[in-house]
Amino acid sequence: MNKTTTKLADGRELLYYDTDDTSVRDVLDPRPLEPAIALSEIRRDPSTGDWVTIAAHRQGRTYHPPADQCPLCPSRDGRAGEIPADAYEVAVFENRFPSLAFDAAAHVGRSDAPLRTSAPAAGRCEVVCFTSDHEASFADLTPEQTRLVLDAWTDRTAELAARPGIQQVFCFENRGAEIGVTLAHPHGQIYAFPFITPRTERMITTAAEHRARTGGNLFEDLLAAERADGNRVVLTGEHWTAFVPFAARWPYEVHLHPHRRVPDLTRLDEAERAEFPGLYLELLRRFDRLFDAGPTPYIAAWHQAPVGGGHELALHLELFTIRRTADKIKYLAGVESGMDAFVNDVAPEAAAERLREVATRG
């Protein structure tokens, strides 16, 4: 992998990842951009202890532009976008409308009042463009392209985790307008948080309780139990297993775990990295075969242990769709949004069976 680091016109960082070690990326950004100012802050909810990010400046971000004005496409035919090159393999850049930004500390104050605790949202938000092909999706990538994306995720995890104040790195993809995606180009994002996210906090607490009760690691025991039962296993390889969780929250939800427990992407070995692309592409293609209703909207989220160690969280990827039938969406209504108490209309065992039925053939 060849990595090239450069700057956009407003000073944001842009990184190219190429399979060719001799690639040269020296095209400058010609746009007359003024530096963006991030006014984000994080506020602690006094009733739950959760951190909430306030980022009012994001109201003006780009919203469903026409394909010929996509800012993530290569810059061609006199039209300059976020990526100056006229072609690329994988490109990563700082979001122009970030929820988190390191320079927020220069513009936002801090409060330590018991019921009004706040701080600058000093982190980083990056956009990861998986391919320069606007009409593609992640499922259209080759295993070689997918491996390059994995290597980019890994590199960004290592670099961002080393930044002062960062407590968790989150790599994810939102796919589909139904999910809330505002740019159709195949891309994902990376958030470097200055706090541990609420869902991760709950996982850490549950893992500690499991250790105290059983003496084992929650995620190792969970994976072993699912592999032994087999009823909800969707796909398995030598180094990874994908299964529908016993208490799935979403209509079709799959968790992909490496067999060897590691805390984050940087700790995967070469055999695990080599096997991942084929299994992940197969999962995405099965998701697209679930319904006769066009591409399936989904969220793919890497769960990594917080920075610094001391936690038992195991690296895994959670993939789920909000679509429950070809023409019905799982909306987060009263009990889900109001109480965080999920109700799933699809039995996890039925979802696993369906995902086995739609295996890619040929």
Taking a C-beta distance cutoff of 8 angstroms, is the pair 198, 133 a contact?
no
3-state class (DSSP) for residue 82: coil
Phi, psi of 357 (to 5 degrees): -65, -35
Sequence-separated (6 or more) residues with CB below 8 Å from residue 256: 240, 241, 242, 279, 280, 283, 316, 317, 318, 319
What does the alpha-carbon distance between residue 3 and residue 163 come to, in Å, rounded to a whole number? Answer: 19
3-state class (DSSP) for residue 344: coil
Nearest to 89 by CA among 134, 154, 145: 145
DSSP-assigned letters across all residues of 97-161 = S-S-BGGGGGT---EEETTEEEEE---EEEEEE--S-TT--GGGS-HHHHHHHHHHHHHHHHHHH
Nearest to 291 by CA among 176, 140, 146, 127: 176
Catalytic center residues: 187
